[in-house]
Amino acid sequence: MKFTAGQIAQMLNGVVEGNPEVTVNSLSKIEEGKPGSISFLSNPLYTPYIYKTEASIVIVNKSFVPEHPITSVLIRVESAEVAFAKLLELYNQIKNDRTGISKQCYIAGTAALGSNIYVGEFSFIGENVVVGNNVKIHPQVFIGDNTTIGDNTILYPGVKIYSDNVIGKNCIFHAGVVIGSDGFRFAPQNEGEKKIPQIGNVVVEDDVEMGANCAVDRATLGSTIIRKGVKFDNLIHIAHNCEIGENTYIAAGTGIAGSTKVGKNCMISGHVAMTAHITIADGSSFGGQTAVSRSLTKPGLAYIGSPAMEASKFRRSSAVFRNLPELAERVNKLEKNQKGKT
């Protein structure tokens, strides 16, 4: 799809400097710009590239003053970074604006589908499923019986949603996300372990995004709950009966064990591990590879380490244990000297 510099400037409330009829049909980094693409300059470190880029259009700040001739058409805006982010969003909307139902999918007769939806090849929609308006279901998605999908939600290829789950509006699930798999619960028996049936569900509220290959287990009873505005990176596991609070962000590789309640507005770095049946206060943040083995009830604190400790204490402690070999050597020498005196 082609756009002129004039059309793009109108979308971004910018001013064209050069030919407003120049057209582009792709986006590019300024150092890799090619004819027919649009790029942007925000970071001063990349300024040298604007003089040799082949991008047809470059978005720049209004304050930008060139030191050499520029062959690209410029669009001047208040903030090039913000404007390009808006352009990326518009591009993504256009790219994903698919509609229609493939003849190679299966939809149960009792399923209720909203308007303007897309269902890709080899997808499966089970009995009594309710799909909202403007939902995009990409190829090879599985949606189990009695599941509800809210308006404007996007399910990328290979997403699997087991039966009886509730997915809110404006959610995005990337490839390989699994919602509603069994929780990991077994009861010891004389003859071995006995699996405990998991008959609850998962409730995902509005505006949640999950990266590729995340897994959220169904509850044993009741619901595993992912609250509004939560954002997951790739490869995250949320166990049965957990609750993740509003607007909490979790980076890749994190695992949260069963029945743990994480507050709202938390920031959890990669490879964090949380044990079961604990509570995490609102606004808590965790450095990478932190291991949390107890409830943390004071809001707004930062934690690092294994086991987790407040970041300020960890930094003071690290100054000590970083020098433990030298300290041990000094103690040994003092003990030898003391023995020699006696």
pLDDT tens by residue, 17-41: 999 999 999 999 999 999 999 999 9
**DSSP tag of 31:** G
- How do residues 238-294 score in pLDDT, each as one tens digit? 999 999 999 999 999 999 999 999 999 999 999 999 999 999 999 999 999 999 999
Residues 242 and 303 in one domain: yes
Q: Hey, what are 321's tokens?
A: 């244990």
φ, ψ of residue 123 in degrees (nearest 5)? -85, 155
Please give the residue range of the domain that contains residue 323. Answer: 314-342
- How many domains does the chain contain in total? 3
Predicted confidence band of residue 160 (pLDDT cuts 50, 70, 90): very high
What residues are annotated to the active site?
A: 240
Model confidence at 342, in pLDDT bands (50, 70, 90)?
A: low
> Which domain-ending residue is among 95, 130, 160?
95
Q: Are residues 120 and 222 in the same domain?
A: yes
Same domain, 282 and 135: yes
Q: Could you give the 3-state DSSP secondary structure of residue 320?
A: helix
Out of 95, 127, 153, pick the residue that ends a domain.
95
Question: Rounded to whole angstroms, how far apart are CA atoms 289 and 86?
Answer: 34
Same domain, 176 and 31: no
Same domain, 231 and 122: yes
**Is the domain of 275 the same as that of 322?**
no
Indicate whether 217 and 89 sit together in one domain. no
Q: How far apart are CA 2 and CA 8, in angstroms?
A: 10
Q: What is the mean pLDDT of the chain?
A: 94
Given 78, 95, 112, which residue is the final one in a domain? 95
Residue 189 near residue 175 (C-beta atoms within 8 A): no
